[in-house]
Structure 1
Amino acid sequence: MEDNVTMTAMPLWDSYVRALHSRFQEEPCLAWINPAQGDPFEIDELVAARKVCVPIMHPHFDLRYAPYLLELDLSRFQDGDVLARTVELAANAWTLDSLQKMNGQPVCGWVAASCSARDLAAYWARTCHIHHRNGQAKLLRFHDPGVREWLWPALERLQRTTLLGPATHILSIGRNGELLEQGLDDTEPQQQHTSLTLTAKQWNEVEDYAVVHAAWLALCGQDEAWRGRLSQQSGWQYNVLDCLRQATEYGIVDAQDRALFARHALEVGTNFHLNALLSPVWERTRTGQYYGGVLEEVIGDSADRLFIHLHHET
């Protein structure tokens, strides 16, 4: 009689669980959770007993939805189970289905720190989250792994040191499904400011992250091959963010119009706006007219088909 053997395929994110166990073998792991769209651990007694909220003081921010840190000792089975659940949540949050449903990012990442969870939470709330720009208090959502993935490379070394504070490394799952690690070389001296400050250019880009994400999601939703294609193009997001400065010059300020402009930059190329066919469009957007509507009038077709019209022009 032959033995029947059932092979069970391990989920892709299982390799991330093993990597995190290895990374935090000799130090506590601080799981960083974002309950803004529902706390995935709301009824978990272990989490309830240990979680430390980041006390963000912003006039329009409800602390019930503040991110929180959770210290895990991965030598304990129960703590390891919580880690595995956070990894599964983080990986699933980057699926197109979850992104299209706007489910958000419930897991910010996993943090190594030289202090307690409470001290790190207080540091981030005091030093990094709240900024004042154009007379308004702004919340820097660096706890969102999608924001941090694009923000980190754009920061100067001193800004990175200030963002980390007593944290030594932050790990998270990125847009392309890889396990990212953000930290600094321990061999170099690490100075930091009393608070994290972004330049005007950095803030302009941060405020367009959602626009570029919407353009990326629209393309990937139309054809998932775009996801793999763009993952092979290093720095594509910064090229599009730079292109959006031209959209501002053309008077395009509406978020949906800017997302459409960014999508065209991705689909056609960042110099698409220089095509002579579009000159009448920019004349009208500079007067305050909406990009999408004007574009469709000029080309006599859906704005989603601009690529075809520009291709025929070349």
Structure 2
Amino acid sequence: MAESLSVSVKTAAELVHWLQTKSVEGGSSIATAKLRLFVLVDCTQVPNWAEFEQKLHEQNISKLRKLYDDLGGLEIAKTGPWLLEVPDKETALHFLAQQALEHEAFSFLLGDCSLAELDEHLRAIREVAMPNGSAALFRFHDPHVTGALWPILTPAQRLRIIGPVRRWAVLSPCGLMQEIERHKTAVLNGSLKFSQAIVTALDNALFPWAVADQVREIDSTLLSGLTACARWKLITERIAKAQELGLTVRSDLALYCALSLQLPANFEATSPFASALERARTGKTSFGLALDQVSSDEWQKVDEMSIGDKQ
């Protein structure tokens, strides 16, 4: 059987303690079998990869696999996840724990399997069958994805995903260690399938992060200086506000979030936003299309309002 668990972790020292405790089979000091620690790294979320590689070398973390190395010729092969086996060293644990607190890129897997066995398993679950019968890439190396999935998966799905390891954990943006755990149960083989309910729930859980990415593309300074937890809370609050105002289309929700971070408070009650919201609420058009129809003179007034507020 595989189950989903969670515990609060706020500091690197707490994360190291959690890993050390969980690395003992059964989580008890009286147990004798110590589990190996593996780390999945989402390369796209590590800002300075060359520097990170150098630090891996300094920590003697040399056992690694590139999980997309067989996809040569595809763009994703260049930025695919890495799987590391971590030596039983305090300094290596502290290094990776601190990295996990700074970057949303790390997943921790504990098991008595070999690196090769885990590599083979992860390649086997790279694709998931969707409700319409198509196959999609399963981003199991993205902590946002797995953290959202753990509570909503069926026991059989958790068992298929966890494979030969005993525990698979990710640190949520707000410091919650979310894990799935496999007890003394045989590894489950076969294809991995997601129902429409799971796809919808996952899509909803990931939407705030998609909005945050769009906001950064518009203006990288709007969310700068905020922790991952603060970013998530801010974006989810703005999405909720947009929904209260009657917006339902995702592109409109994202647009409202971006505008709310650029313009003065209660901008939605002023022209031309109030009329655009009303048109969207009544189904005449989308919020975005309504704003596209605003004249340049009206936008000039909006710019003046924004500048005046900053002064």
Question: TM-score, length-normalised on structure 1?
Answer: 0.60
- Return the match for 2:188 from 170, 192, 207: 192
Most deviating of 152-161 and 197-206: 197-206
Judged with a 3 Å threshold, the aligned counterparts in structure 2 of structure 1 residues 192 and 119 are, in CA distance, closer, same or farther, namely same
Map residues 86-125 of structure 1 onto 2, 5 A cutoff: 86-93=96-103, 105=104, 107-125=105-123
Query: Which letter maps to 1:184?
Result: E
Structure 1 unaligned blocks of 5 or more: 1-10, 94-104, 269-276, 303-314
- Cα separation, 2, equivalents of 1:86 and 1:186: 26
**Are residues 1:172 and 2:170 paired?**
yes
Please name the residue that 2:42 is paired with.
34
- Cα separation, 2, equivalents of 1:18 and 1:279: 53
Map residues 7-156 of structure 1 onto 2, 5 A cutoff: 12-25=11-24, 26-36=34-44, 37=46, 38=49, 40-43=51-54, 44-45=56-57, 49-55=62-68, 60-74=74-88, 79-93=89-103, 105=104, 107-129=105-127, 131=129, 137-156=135-154
What's the CA shift for 1:263?
A: 8.8
What's the CA shift for 1:186?
A: 2.0
C-alpha deviations, 1:259-308, integer Å up to 9, x for none?
346899xxx9xxxxxxxx9553141336x95376589x9xx989xxxxxx
- Cα separation, 2, equivalents of 1:61 and 1:27: 34
- Cα separation, 1, equivalents of 2:64 and 2:227: 39
Query: Which letter maps to 1:72?
Result: V
- Return the match for 1:259 from 231, 241, 254: 254
**Which fold has the larger relative contact order, with Cα–Cα distance below 8 Å and residues 6 or more apart in sequence?**
2
What's the CA shift for 1:150?
A: 1.1
Please name the residue that 2:270 is paired with.
none
Report if aligned partners of 2:39, 2:83 keep a CA contact under 8 Å in 1: yes
What's the CA shift for 1:142?
A: 2.1
Give the SS at the match of 1:63.
helix
Query: Which letter maps to 1:197?
Result: K
Give the SS at the match of 2:53.
coil
Query: Which letter maps to 1:281?
Result: A
Report if aligned partners of 1:54, 1:68 keep a CA contact under 8 Å in 2: yes
Report if aligned partners of 2:170, 2:178 keep a CA contact under 8 Å in 1: yes
Please name the residue that 1:285 is paired with.
285
- Cα separation, 2, equivalents of 1:145 and 1:70: 16
Judged with a 3 Å threshold, the aligned counterparts in structure 2 of structure 1 residues 125 and 133 are, in CA distance, closer, same or farther, namely farther
Please name the residue that 1:101 is paired with.
none
- Cα separation, 1, equivalents of 2:226 and 2:209: 14
- Cα separation, 2, equivalents of 1:134 and 1:291: 34
What's the CA shift for 1:52?
A: 1.8
Please, what is the CA RMSD of the aligned residues?
A: 4.7
Judged with a 3 Å threshold, the aligned counterparts in structure 2 of structure 1 residues 184 and 42 are, in CA distance, closer, same or farther, namely closer
Query: Which letter maps to 2:23?
Result: F
Judged with a 3 Å threshold, the aligned counterparts in structure 2 of structure 1 residues 147 and 199 are, in CA distance, closer, same or farther, namely same
- Cα separation, 1, equivalents of 2:131 and 2:51: 33
What's the CA shift for 1:72?
A: 2.2
Judged with a 3 Å threshold, the aligned counterparts in structure 2 of structure 1 residues 289 and 229 are, in CA distance, closer, same or farther, namely closer
Question: TM-score, length-normalised on structure 2?
Answer: 0.61
Give the SS at the match of 1:138.
strand
Query: Which letter maps to 1:118?
Result: A
Judged with a 3 Å threshold, the aligned counterparts in structure 2 of structure 1 residues 281 and 172 are, in CA distance, closer, same or farther, namely same
What's the CA shift for 1:145?
A: 1.1
Report if aligned partners of 2:106, 2:141 keep a CA contact under 8 Å in 1: yes
Report if aligned partners of 2:113, 2:164 keep a CA contact under 8 Å in 1: yes
Give the SS at the match of 2:96.
helix
Please name the residue that 1:5 is paired with.
none
**Are residues 1:183 and 2:194 paired?**
no
Query: Which letter maps to 1:160?
Result: R
Report if aligned partners of 1:131, 1:140 keep a CA contact under 8 Å in 2: no
